[in-house]
């Protein structure tokens, strides 16, 4: 069974999707990554209590790592990229080329970019920490202003309140 809930956050409304055991999706509902609630999904709050609490702590500047079971659906390559994203420390960034090297395909920074763009668990799988080789902010499903906001939060420049 698939459950979902909505959560207001400093970066806009979030849609959380899971099976009651693991989080399958966290989508910003503004920007190009908005998700549609599936037929047969059940609205429920309880399966997302830990995710809500940890996201609130993150936006308040009190959490630097998430401790949640995750089950993103994707190809083996995408899952390797998403795993590598989770290894980028809080407050730091990595380039697409660096991630390509980490997943063993140094010639594929563009493929990493595509996988990064298809990350179904925003914020928790920190695709916002990936930047261009020259240090510039590059595409982000939630928009570059949200990416900058999240990076500023992690740099200690601000705390956002849920």
From residue 137, give the alpha-carbon distance in Å to each of 52, 65, 113. Answer: 27, 22, 12
**Within a domain: residue 125?**
yes
pLDDT (tens digit per residue) in 9-61: 989 999 999 999 999 999 998 766 678 898 999 999 999 999 999 999 999 98
Angstrom distance (rounded) from CA 26 to CA 54: 13
Angstrom distance (rounded) from CA 47 to CA 129: 27
> What domain range includes position 7?
3-59
The CATH number assigned to the domain holding 99 equals 1.10.10.10
Could you tell me if 55 and 81 lie in one domain? no
How many structural domains does the chain have? 2
Place of tokens 């979902």: 4
Could you tell me if 80 and 146 lie in one domain? yes
pLDDT (tens digit per residue) in 68-91: 999 999 999 999 999 999 999 999
| 3-state secondary structure at position 68 | coil
Could you tell me if 52 and 101 lie in one domain? no
Decide: pTM greater than 0.85: yes
| Residues present in the chain in total | 162
Could you tell me if 88 and 127 lie in one domain? yes
Active site residues: 127
């Amino acid at each position: 069974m698939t459950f979902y809930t909505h959560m207001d956050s400093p970066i806009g409304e979030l849609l959380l999707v899971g099976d009651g055991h693991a989080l399958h999706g966290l989508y910003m509902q503004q920007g190009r990554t908005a998700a549609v609630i599936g037929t047969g999904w059940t609205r429920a709050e309880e399966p997302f209590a830990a995710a809500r609490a940890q996201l609130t702590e993150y936006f308040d500047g009190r959490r630097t790592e998430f401790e949640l079971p995750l089950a993103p659906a994707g190809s083996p390559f995408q899952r390797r990229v998403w795993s590598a994203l989770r290894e980028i420390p809080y407050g730091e960034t990595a380039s697409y080329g660096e991630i390509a090297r980490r997943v063993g395909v140094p010639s594929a920074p563009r493929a990493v970019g595509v996988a990064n763009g298809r990350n179904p668990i925003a914020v928790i799988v920190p695709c916002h920490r990936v930047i261009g080789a020259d240090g510039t902010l590059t595409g982000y499903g939630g928009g570059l202003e949200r990416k900058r906001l999240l990076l500023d939060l992690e740099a200690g420049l601000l705390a956002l309140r849920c």
